[in-house]
Amino acid sequence: MNRIDPAIVDARNQLNARAMAAEAELLAILTPWIGRKIRKTSGHGGWVAKLEPILHTFMTSNGHPSDRVWLTCQHNWLALDCQSMLQLQPHGVSYSKAQLSIGKIDDTGVLLELFQPTELRTDYTAQEIDDARAEAYRLESQARDLRHKIREFER
């Protein structure tokens, strides 16, 4: 079984830390907007004019040059997406993404609530991930063997 590159684990830990920091900043930005309209519901939608430049500054000022941070709204749910790119040696790229649920709006674009901050782990180890993968593979193999034993009795 392939072992995970410790650089990928470190990158995930760093991404999770940056995502939680960005979430805290975004919650501070949006808290005064609870009960107020933040999304346009006509035309192509988007953020209301007073909030747009604040969110633009937030999204462009967070992270490293290889990171992307953006706030999305789908089906009345607000989500913070944080993506990071890790250049692997000698070649290749690995992308990691953290998506955190931020809050809810109503059908008219009014911010109804903000959720409690998300707790993401920032202390994963390569050994822990390798051990979890091995255990998952062992359990999946055991389940396949058990399904094989009972397949003649299943419909």
Alpha carbon distance 118, 121 (integer Å) = 10
| Tens digit of each residue's pLDDT (9 = 90 or more) over 72-84 | 998 899 999 999 8
Q: Does 24 have pLDDT greater than 80?
A: yes
Q: Does 91 have pLDDT greater than 70?
A: no
pTM: predicted TM-score of the whole model, two decimal places: 0.83
Average confidence (pLDDT) over 135-140? 97
CB-CB contact of 1 with 121 (8 Å): no
Separation of CA 21 from chain center: 13
Nearest to 82 by CA among 69, 93, 73: 69
The DSSP code for 47 is B
pLDDT of residue 34: 98
**CA Rg value for the chain:** 21
99 bridge partner residues? 81
| Tens digit of each residue's pLDDT (9 = 90 or more) over 95-133 | 889 999 999 999 999 999 999 999 999 999 999 999 999
